Structure 1
Amino acid sequence: MSEKNKAILEKANAAIAKGNNEGFLSFCADDIEWTFVGDKTIKGKEAVRQWMAATYVEPPKFRVANLIAEDDFVAALGDITMKDEDGKAADYSYCDVWRFRGDKIVELKAFVVKT
């Protein structure tokens, strides 16, 4: 199961990198919940869709250092570059912990630090 979940996450992230938010969302459950630790929680696919539309004006650039999978979880460690509120490129380090239910992503806990 864990290798299958890694493959799903890789496909989902590839969609984001191409600017295909709907492609990413096709891998998500309707009741998905994203928690940005220390910031906010977004509940439901439509709320995630709206967040992505507002935040990913240009597709972010991911550099995944490690994908670690066990049971229903995949942890992704790496760096991301995306536009900030002023439209300037900003760099972040992150650890995303994704939880799966069947073939769908149901939860994200994101630990993100601007570098």
Structure 2
Amino acid sequence: MSEHKDIIKKYLDGVQNVDRDLLLSLVTDDFEFERKGQPVLRGKEVLLAMIDNADGVVLEGAGSQRPTHKIDRMIEEGDTLAVNGTVLAPLPDGGQLEVLFCDLVTFRGDRISRLETYMITPAPPQA
């Protein structure tokens, strides 16, 4: 497995475990995050806001309420890595939110400099 793929696995583990220090060590100071359809956010403070649940992505100390990521596939070319998979997030009512994602991750050296994410909810099962 490539170094970039290892870094992405560490990044997703850091999100799952709300490991601020690990996540900050994996991104550049001028890190950019773009959830497609929304404005581009810049800087490590953006990542900290997500970790601290300022945008509802991760809730520190929530135990099993944190989302989990299942990677289906990773494709790498040069300094860019495409990752697709599923995010599962437990809901307060006992249900589960399922979101399909595809991230395009740009690296500068061994750090993530940009993360562009596409997210959709899957279609309901056909009867």
| Other-structure match for 1:56 | 58
Amino acid in the other structure paired with 2:58: Y
How far residue 21 of structure 1 moved from its aligned partner, in angstroms, is 3.2
Q: Which structure has the larger Rg over C-alpha atoms?
A: 2
**Stretches of structure 2 lacking an aligned partner (at least 5 in a row):** 123-127
- In 1, Cα distance between equivalents of 2:26 and 2:117: 17
**Stretches of structure 1 lacking an aligned partner (at least 5 in a row):** none
Compare the two structures and name the one with the higher strand fraction: 1
Cα-Cα RMSD:
2.3
Aligned residues: 114
Normalised to the residue count of structure 2, the TM-score between the two structures is: 0.79
The correspondence of residues 1-115 of structure 1 with structure 2, limited to 5 A, is 3-54=2-53, 55-57=57-59, 58=62, 59-82=66-89, 89-115=96-122
Aligned CA distance change for structure 1 residues 75 and 33 (closer, same or farther; 3 Å): same
How far residue 82 of structure 1 moved from its aligned partner, in angstroms, is 2.5
Q: Which has the higher contact order (CA 8 A, sep 6+)?
A: 1
45-54 or 87-96, which deviates more: 87-96
